[in-house]
């Protein structure tokens, strides 16, 4: 068992708070007219990352990245775990609860779980619930804290909030009164909301944003209650607190996309004994959470078994840079991150991969001949209903609906000049060297992570490796050439040639 106490003998606990579909809609991240005083306070006491990226903007998949330190094409949680979708993490993957159980931690989850199977995520205490009663959540968390104190064990508690996810109505966000006097939500008026740059200013959008804001404010109240419980139990000075969102806001042009609106998210980390009020410009990825939590627990690099089939975790602990307000040079910290999306709902197949640096964003769209799919909660929303009935050409913020649904094989954006990712530079001759560089880096990462969606000639290289070993020649091109499909006397796939051929 690794040492889970600091030099003074205090246990090194972890409280991991996950908001559902929040995006960066917090005061401390610049959102206006949303009252989030408790999360603001947490940010003032800790480190607020401005360049934090999930691997994929889908609930189950993003959570699996946090819980495994692996991208979805590595861990198998390709899409949603719930209902008929039923995607699940591979049973041989090492997960946060399994590893922290082995370290002697009291592990637990309260609220939304949304990953599976249960055998792969063996939280010792599992209180799964779809409730939005954040007072109940805080009370159950306090009971969890009390039990850990009684047994004198360090703890790792995950809280999966339902807020501010949509409910099953066309415009609602679960804003009923739970009769808990501790939970106070300020009424929001349509004129108070701020229209995101990726949406249109329409009555339907404002109607939904009113409900969204109120759900966010309830989330904030819940965070305040749970942090009060932690303080009341005398555990604040021994607990690393992480607050994150699983993906971007639940609106078209954000959630389920790998545009920054879907994947660039709030991450706030409060570490005991570290001075707070840090706003970090350094890039982190959600694959970095697992290594960071192990580092905090004194178990850096810990695995359950040296013979495990679980792929090596490639993330890096950011515990060492929590107090860094300045941008660290690339030789000291990463200046790029990768991402991997394949499904949302089972019918939403649209595999794509991305490489995001501080300057550019490269998307490789594997199923580019398919329409980009609508998630059902957004397709049925009033906001989309309002947008689709505007006079043509229909726009989604600055992006045309046509370009949202029909996307090319490759996209390249200058994020400094074009943060909305509208002006695709992939076919611009001036950026030929950039596209080649990013294509090469992304495909090298796909090789390293054994990505089944590294395609040549329209097929998976990994799934045909046994044929390649037996002499099969796969032409070195993205898609099959139906006019000239032959594989003789043409350049053929080799890992040494990654990124060198044209699209």
DSSP reduced 3-state for 109? strand
Among all chains, which residue has been given the structure tokens 């792969």?
A: 120
Q: Which of 248, 254, 252 is nearest to 383 (CA)?
A: 252
DSSP notation for 405-457: HS--SEEEEETTT-TT--S--TT-GGGHHHHHHHHHHHHHHHHHTT-TT-EET
- Alpha helix ranges (H) inside 233-269: 260-263
Measured at the alpha carbon of residue 212, what is the angle toward residues 176 and 109, in degrees to the nearest 5?
A: 70
Q: Whole-angstrom Cα distance, residue 135 to residue 141? A: 10
DSSP reduced 3-state for 100? helix
Assess contact for 65 and 297: CB atoms under 8 A: no
Which strands sit side by side in the sheet containing 352-357, from one edge to the other?
A: 336-341, 352-357, 360-365, 410-414
Residue 28 a catalytic site member: no
Q: Whole-angstrom Cα distance, residue 147 to residue 18? A: 22
Give the active site residue among 59, 82, 242, 492: 59
Other C-beta atoms lying within 10 Å of the C-beta of residue 485: 11
Q: How far is CA 487 from CA 11, 235, 409, 452, in A?
A: 61, 65, 22, 21
Measured at the alpha carbon of residue 390, what is the angle toward residues 387 and 395, in degrees to the nearest 5?
A: 60
Q: Whole-angstrom Cα distance, residue 312 to residue 303? A: 9
Please enumerate in sequence order all residues whose Cβ is within 8 A of that of 290, keeping only pairs 6 or more positions apart, or say none: 66, 67, 68, 69, 96, 313, 315
Q: Whole-angstrom Cα distance, residue 392 to residue 122? A: 51
Q: Which of 265, 257, 244 is nearest to 344 (CA)?
A: 257
Burial class from Cβ neighbours inside 10 Å (0-12, 13-18, 19+) for residue 454 reads: buried
Please enumerate in sequence order all residues whose Cβ is within 8 A of that of 316, keeping only pairs 6 or more positions apart, or say none: 288, 291, 334
Q: Whole-angstrom Cα distance, residue 503 to residue 486? A: 17
Q: Which of 65, 150, 160 is nearest to 108 (CA)?
A: 160
Other C-beta atoms lying within 10 Å of the C-beta of residue 102: 16
Measured at the alpha carbon of residue 432, what is the angle toward residues 429 and 435, in degrees to the nearest 5?
A: 135
Q: Which residues are catalytic?
A: 59
């Amino acid at each position: 068992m690794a040492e889970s106490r600091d030099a003074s003998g205090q246990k090194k606990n972890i409280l991991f708070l996950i908001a559902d579909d929040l995006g960066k809609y917090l005061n401390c991240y610049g959102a206006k007219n949303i009252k989030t005083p408790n999360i603001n306070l947490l940010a003032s006491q800790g480190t607020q990352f401005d360049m934090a990226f999930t691997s994929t903007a889908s609930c189950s998949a993003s959570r699996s990245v946090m819980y495994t330190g692996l991208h979805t094409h590595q861990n198998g949680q390709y899409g949603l775990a719930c209902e008929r979708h039923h995607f699940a993490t591979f049973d041989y993957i090492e997960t946060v609860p399994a590893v922290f159980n082995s370290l002697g931690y009291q592990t637990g989850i309260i609220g939304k779980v949304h990953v599976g199977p249960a055998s792969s995520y063996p939280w010792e205490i599992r209180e799964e619930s779809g409730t939005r009663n954040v007072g109940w959540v805080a009370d159950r968390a306090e009971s969890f804290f009390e039990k850990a104190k009684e047994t004198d064990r360090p703890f790792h508690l995950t809280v999966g909030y339902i807020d501010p996810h949509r409910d099953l109505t066309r415009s609602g966000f679960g804003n009923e009164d739970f009769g808990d006097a501790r939970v106070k939500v300020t009424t929001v008026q349509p004129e108070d909301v701020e229209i995101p740059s990726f949406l249109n200013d329409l009555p339907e959008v404002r109607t939904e944003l009113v409900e969204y804001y109120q759900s966010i404010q309830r989330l904030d109240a819940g965070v305040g209650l749970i942090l009060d419980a932690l303080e009341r139990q005398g555990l604040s000075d021994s607990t690393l607190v992480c607050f994150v969102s699983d993906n971007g806001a639940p609106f078209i042009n954000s959630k389920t996309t790998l545009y920054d609106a879907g994947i660039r998210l709030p991450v706030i980390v409060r570490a005991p004994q570290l001075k707070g009020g840090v706003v970090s410009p350094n890039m982190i990825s959600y694959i970095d959470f697992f290594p960071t939590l192990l580092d905090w627990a004194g178990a850096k690099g810990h695995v359950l078994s040296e013979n495990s089939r679980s792929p090596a975790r490639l993330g890096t602990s950011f515990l060492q840079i929590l107090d860094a307000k300045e941008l660290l040079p690339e030789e000291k910290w990463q200046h790029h991150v990768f991402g991997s999306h394949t499904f949302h709902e089972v019918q939403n197949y649209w595999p794509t991969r991305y490489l995001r640096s501080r300057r550019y964003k490269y998307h490789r769209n594997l199923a580019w001949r398919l329409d980009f799919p609508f998630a059902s909660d957004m397709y049925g929303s009033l906001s989309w209903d309002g947008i689709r009935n505007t006079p043509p050409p229909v726009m989604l913020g600055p992006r045309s609906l046509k370009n949202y649904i029909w996307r090319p094989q490759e996209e390249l954006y200058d994020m400094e000049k074009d943060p909305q990712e509208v002006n695709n530079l992939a076919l611009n001759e001036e950026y030929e060297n950039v596209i080649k560089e990013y294509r090469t880096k992304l495909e090298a990462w796909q090789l390293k992570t054994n990505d089944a969606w590294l395609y040549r000639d329209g097929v998976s290289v990994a799934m045909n490796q046994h044929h390649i070993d037996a002499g099969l020649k796969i032409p070195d091109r993205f898609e099959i050439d139906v006019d000239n499909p032959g594989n003789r006397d043409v350049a053929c796939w080799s890992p040494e040639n990654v990124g060198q051929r044209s699209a």
